Structure 1
């Protein structure tokens, strides 16, 4: 738990605000649906929540859920998976609530499609952070603080092609992986085609954010880069001290914004 202390310190400074947001979302804005429909369909004393590994790894839920249980008497069981898998659990009715970060897929989840009943009741934006790119401080791709994301992705591609950079990708159905693919697409790159079966250039970990960050840190040539949400980074940056933030949003950019939506599953 020590590696999560940094974010918990931040949260503790705004504890009331975080709690108010959480209670409004799961007990206020959707109170009628949530309490009478969702809980009546399952154990009225327990909520099944599917959320992202980045949310879980940030330590946020460890800090908030005990307070929620103490005040409501409702236990919350958490499934920590990628956004894609959380949506699948929601579609199959295996969970009561999802907390994810892939807006287009969230909108599909709550909208009526072809006359079918939507999987989700409604969506509310509960919080946001942003995506950043971290790498070893020697920074072989020579990313600069004022580089916009197009320049950053171009430099990463050039570094990968030159053999002095390796990109570590989630390679799953997570919101982070979806964002990564959109960033590569912005420079007309499809990683699975460009670097097919070349793990020394592009490695798909197939794992969560914390594990992917660890693999970037352990890169044998100290040339690993990865895309990560800032919340998870704040939880682990004291552990992986050789990694630094090498790219983030510059003034006028918003395509690294990372909003999270909470959706009660339609019972």
Structure 2
């Protein structure tokens, strides 16, 4: 039997009627990477769980968790995740995998970011030259990271002029906007590698340790929301930290480049 779920932007893997369904909010960057298409069928095969993904930014994913609208979340903003657990919305935080953020921009690199010593210097050059920049502007993990980087560089994006474009969209849509404007943008590496409309954009800066990007799994607290499927969420977590998951995550590449590195304990 097939069922149609109406919920934001969702991705469903068809399953037998006997399968248990689990609702998990995930970031658009995770979905855009294509890794979900690899993991979800194997999760269902190994555990019998039909995982329904609600594809949103990290901020919205956390709000869905606090409201009890999902059983678990997979996001990438450590401070926000720790607050989610601290206020009792999640029972714990389990690190699963990581990649990194990168600065993408026009291949001509008018701001000279390629020769920057660190991410702070790269952003300084973009701001000083007022080179067109696209921000996700959607309270996602990537957006939170971008704002933190600007602040670390001594800037408040609220004061930027028209060269700074906050689009309020997911990673794929924001990259499409950057491609259309031939603009700079902060992206997670996985979304960039899996992005098909690169236009004249190129990966210009990466490698600063501050750009580290950790993804973590958080089961929603059943003491706050008794209806959530905690047993199934813990079953999914056990699979996500298993050798099977490690093999699939570490082996997932695009054009020979690894998108994520498994680091669950």
Q: Which TM-score tier does this pair reach, normalised by the shorter chain? A: 0.7 to 0.9
CA distance in 2, matches of 1:265, 1:79: 14
| Structure 2 partner of 1:254 | 209
Partner of residue 35 from structure 2, selected from 60, 63, 72: 60
Q: How many residues align?
A: 205
**1:122 match: secondary structure:** coil
Maintained 8 Å contact 2:106/2:202: yes
- SS at 2:209 equivalent: coil
In the alignment, is the contact (CA less than 8 A) between 2:111 and 2:125 conserved in 1? yes
1:181-229 Cα distance to aligned partner (Å, 9 max, x none):
011101221111232xx2xx0101100000000111011xx3x100000
Q: Structure 1 pair 228/136, CA: closer, same or farther in 2 (3 Å)?
A: same
1:58 and 1:254 mapped to 2: Cα distance? Answer: 21
Q: Matched residue of 1:67: which SS?
A: helix
What residue number does 1:13 align with? none
By how many angstroms is 1:240 displaced? Answer: 1.1
**Aligned pairs (5 A) from 1:1-267:** 45-111=20-86, 113=87, 118-160=88-130, 165-195=131-161, 198=162, 201-219=163-181, 222=182, 224-236=183-195, 238-249=196-207, 253-267=208-222
Residues in 2 aligned to 1:178 and 1:59: alpha-carbon distance in whole angstroms: 22
- For 1:145 and 1:264, how far apart are their aligned partners in 2? 42
Partner SS for 2:114 = coil
1:147–1:247 CA contact under 8 A, matched in 2? no
Q: Which runs of 4+ in 1 moved over 2 A?
A: 144-147
Pairwise CA distance, 1:98: 0.2
1:44 shift after superposition: 7.4
Partners of 2:38 and 2:19 in 1: CA distance: 22
Task: Work out the CA distance in 2 between the residues paired with 1:239 and 1:184.
Answer: 26
Structure 1 spans left out of the alignment, 5+ residues: 1-42
Distance 1:61 1:259 in 2: 16
Tell me, in whole angstroms, the C-alpha distance in 2 between the residues paired with 1:209 and 1:128.
17
Query: What are the superposed Cα offsets for residues 124-171 of structure 1, whole Å, 9 maximum, x if unpaired?
Result: 1100000000011111111224521121011010121xxxx1110001
Tell me the distance in 2 between the aligned counterparts of 1:145 and 1:188. 20
2-structure distance, mates of 1:88, 1:120: 11
TM-score of the aligned structures, taking structure 1 as reference length? 0.74
- In the alignment, structure 2 segments of 5+ residues that lack a partner are 1-17, 223-265
Q: TM-score, normalised by structure 2?
A: 0.74
The alignment's C-alpha RMSD in Å is 1.5
**2:248 alignment partner in structure 1:** none
